[in-house]
Structure 1
Amino acid sequence: MLDKFRRLFKKDEQNKLDDKYIPIPKSEINEELKRKIIELEKLGEECSKVLQRKYENVFEIQGKHNLRIWICRDIDGDEIKGLTFEKCLEKEYRSQIAIDYDGPKFDDDFYADTIELWYYFGGYFEGSGTLYDLSKNDLETDIEETLQTLLR
């Protein structure tokens, strides 16, 4: 019975994730998309600053010190110093909102939580990407909901 419940929960979670992202085929990875990614990352930076100020005292009260919310960029999982959105059309580039703090966390992940903004994954010959869908979602609300979950 417990396994059925877990599968149902995972299916619901996957549907929620599917609703948040737009699949981008290789044929649509171009300079126009790059402009959208840059705008999305800038929006993410602004939301992160505002929400970090709003929630840092609430986290402190719960013993979760030094709340940090920022845009984290990596290529193939490697966080390269000085990596900017200029490299967003390189294969294996990923940008995400990273949320972290000092203190107890749900599990041993690298950060307390993340919200993926853009990920360009490549295969041997073809690549594609996923982009956070601003037309159906509100990034600030999603970050805030994640922060509230971390406070439970």
Structure 2
Amino acid sequence: MFGKLKKLFMDKNDLETNDKYISVPESEINENLKRDIVKLERLGEVYSESLQYKYKSKFERDGKRNLKIWVCRDIDGDQISNLSSEQCLEKEYRSQVAINFEGFTDEEDAYIYYIQLWYYFGGYFKGSGALYDLSKNHLETDIKEKVEEILKQQ
């Protein structure tokens, strides 16, 4: 439930003003951007799988079982079973690398830790997006830092 509330009240300006993200006006949301989003999400999936494998035993030694790192997608907070990056240009589409442990599932409000990849803020007449900036950041490093941060927590 907390996850749903957090997403509901998350200010889109938090993403737009963060140096890890590129603000994308609606006029630039097109098929070229879609290709970039698909590539970013696939890269996120590769890094997630690799880092989950790498850190699984470290988490278990720390008493934190069932580490799961994955790319999750939703539209307006609702996860749809067959949702893929192909729908990334639909308003309110969001993708993120989610990190969980201790038996959490991939239900929409079950993850606590995440790194936003793409979010298309929809409005009635126009929207905008926030895209993780691969030109200034390294996604694998950001995921690894988040996992290390989680390991340090009790």
TM-score, normalised by the number of residues in structure 2: 0.83
Q: Which residue of 2 aligns with 1:31?
A: 31
Q: Which residue of 2 aligns with 1:94?
A: 94
Shift of 1:56: 0.2
Could you list the structure 1 runs, at least 4 aligned residues long, displaced by more than 3 angstroms after superposition. none
The gaps in structure 2 that reach 5 residues or longer are 1-13, 104-108
Is the partner of 2:144 in helix, strand or coil? helix
Q: Which residue of 1 aligns with 2:139?
A: 139
> Map of 1:58-97 to 2, 5 A cutoff?
58-97=58-97
Provide the C-alpha distance between the structure 2 equivalents of 1:125 and 1:86, rounded to a whole number of angstroms: 22
Is the partner of 1:36 in helix, strand or coil? helix
- Number of residue pairs matched by the alignment: 134
Shift of 1:124: 1.3
* Identity between Structure 1 and Structure 2 (%): 62
Q: Which digits, 9 at most, give the CA deviation of each residue in 1:95-127, with x for residues without a partner?
A: 000000117xxxxx7313000000001111110
State whether residues 76 and 93 of structure 1, in contact with CA within 8 Å, keep that contact through their aligned partners in structure 2.
Answer: yes
Is the partner of 1:65 in helix, strand or coil? coil
TM-score, normalised by the number of residues in structure 1: 0.84
Q: Which digits, 9 at most, give the CA deviation of each residue in 1:8-63, with x for residues without a partner?
A: xxxxxx69x71100000000000000000000000000000110000000000111
The gaps in structure 1 that reach 5 residues or longer are 1-13, 104-108
- Bigger share in strand: 1
Provide the C-alpha distance between the structure 2 equivalents of 1:27 and 1:147, rounded to a whole number of angstroms: 36
Q: Which residue of 2 aligns with 1:128?
A: 128
The RMSD of aligned alpha carbons is 1.7
Provide the C-alpha distance between the structure 2 equivalents of 1:62 and 1:111, rounded to a whole number of angstroms: 19
Provide the C-alpha distance between the structure 1 equivalents of 2:127 and 2:110, rounded to a whole number of angstroms: 26
Shift of 1:68: 0.4
